[in-house]
A = this chain, B = another copy of it.
Amino acid sequence: MPNTKELYALYQQKMQRIADVKNANNVLQWDQETYLPAKGTTFRGQQISTLSEIAHQLFSEESTGDLLHELMSKDDLSKEEKRNVELTLEDYEKNKKYTSRFVRELSEQINKTFYAWTIARQKNSFSLFKDDLEKLVALKKEEAQILGFENHPYDALLNEHEKGTTVAFLDKTFSELLPDLKKLLSKIEASPQVDDAFLKQRFPKQQQWNWGMYLLKELHFDFERGRQDISTHPFSVSFNSNDVRITTRIEEEDFGNMTWSCIHEAGHALYEQGLPEMEYGLPLGEACSYSIHESQSRLWENNIGRSLAFWKLYLPLLQSYFPGQFGNISAEQFYKGINKVSPSLVRTEADEITYHFHVFIRYELEKKLLEGNLQAADIPSYWAEQYKNLLGVNVPDDKQGSLQDVHWSHGSFGYFPTYSLGSFYAAQFFEAAKKDDPTIKNGIETGNLIPLLQWLRSNIHAKGRYFTSEELCRQATGKPLEIRFFTNYLLEKYGSIYIL
């Protein structure tokens, strides 16, 4: 009979083995987005499916469950060990709810739906997407039943992306936020507009790349434990905390694209590089949640990377990379330009205010789909109506409308709200950090980002998945999530930019 220590070692070994397979798959996917030759796609898809299946099988083995239950009965585990086992058991039990029939059916429908989406986008026609999407929604409804919920079927799917988040909570949060945002937006629209034309000049690729790499170093992205490459859509991926990779894309006519994607992805990567290496393969070595992950990328991208203090310091350096383009711009002009507010059609290009209307529209829409109060076929008209109502813009076609995001074609329902939650958490964390450590503010003004990073490391990164988002927020800031931190941040920022 093995003792607790031996059992825990077995558990750790098993989980690391599964992590090895999953991370190998991450390497395959990273390679697919960065270096895969054109015709290499044929077998790559199959290789990725095989590894996913193997990881799933290893985790689903009866023996995993037995081991976890046996460990749960032990009283000589450390607090951290206990928590790892508990979280793994939670994952295991959830995993067991799925029949292999359902897993296969869902995975096949996702493949079909993703393919339909790419074609529909090419042809700019939602109607080519609707039938497969409808089938996928039906499966997601079934999934909600499988997972179980108390009040709303959408809760089950939200919970998959953000443990503990509910329709009730999000309804309340958005209803607090949106009136303030609408008021702010009206005031801004009535004020003299800021000029951002300087962002749309020609910025040669190599210089943008060099500037981006310089920025990453300034943000303390650790190049001994990660790298940056080019891909069509920027993303970050981790193979373990010692190998975290990010990508960017460069558009020569648009300065903003690369710069803030670099900072955004660096925020994700700093989190992954800060997860405890010792806990590789175990829950405490994993990120807390989608929203907390997004809080890290947004804190760096917006609260730091779109702040006046940051650009007061870095504009002269930026000017040395692009003297012709930015030579005559002041830090204030630059700051205003990069924060220009303007209701638009595309979520990923939205400013910090209107962004949350984009999310809210998707959230309401998903809720209605899950309730059965909206059919896939009716999405484009619903979309157009909401964009008109909330943002005052006319949706000219499906590509710039309801076909713009990949999420639904992947079967991700309940994902979008975590983007907004990320902004809210970011504002609250940033305030708490500055209060906890008064050197942070001065550090940002003088180019020393270490104090801020250290606060994030010890209050967020080092915790892994120990706490839920909500608990982590309480631990780190002394309060549950309060939307006022975000609203105040916006009011102050845009109040000064638009002189409201």
Contact = CB atoms under 8 A, between A and B. Distances in A.
A389 interface: no
Interface stretch (A40-48, A177-185, A368-376, A459-467): A40-48
Interface in A1-53: 16-17, 20-21, 23-25, 27-28, 31, 35-40, 42-44, 46-47, 49-51
A84 interface: no
B35 A47 contact: no
Given A54-B54, A243-B39, A46 B25 contact: no
A419 interface: no
A165 interface: no
A17 B223 CA distance: 35
A369 to B, nearest CB: 35
Contact of A35 (B17, B49, B227): B227
A326 interface: no
Contacts of A280: 43
Contacts of A243: 36-37, 39-40, 43-44
Contact of A37 (B21, B46, B50, B224): B224
B47 A24 contact: yes
A54 to B, nearest CB: 6
B54 A242 contact: no
Interface residues of A, number: 37
Nearest to A18: B50
A28 B37 contact: no
B240 A42 contact: yes
Contacts of A50: 16-17, 20-21, 24
A486 interface: no
A57 to B, nearest CB: 10
A104 interface: no
A28 B24 contact: yes
A239 B223 CA distance: 27
A23 B37 contact: no
A47 B28 contact: no
A31 to B, nearest CB: 6
A227 B37 contact: yes
A224 B38 contact: yes
A25 B24 contact: yes
Contacts of A20: 43, 46-47, 49-51
Nearest to A277: B42
Contacts of A200: none
A59 to B, nearest CB: 14
A226 B37 contact: yes
Nearest to A40: B243
A403 to B, nearest CB: 28
A107 to B, nearest CB: 16
A16 B47 CA distance: 9
A225 interface: yes
Contacts of A25: 24
Interface of A: 16-17, 20-21, 23-25, 27-28, 31, 35-40, 42-44, 46-47, 49-51, 54, 223-227, 229, 239-240, 242-243, 277, 280
6 contacts: A16-B50, A20-B47, A20-B51, A27-B27, A31-B31, A44-B239
Given A24-B47, A38-B224, A54-B54, 10 more contacts: A16-B46, A20-B46, A21-B51, A24-B25, A27-B27, A35-B227, A37-B223, A42-B240, A43-B239, A43-B240
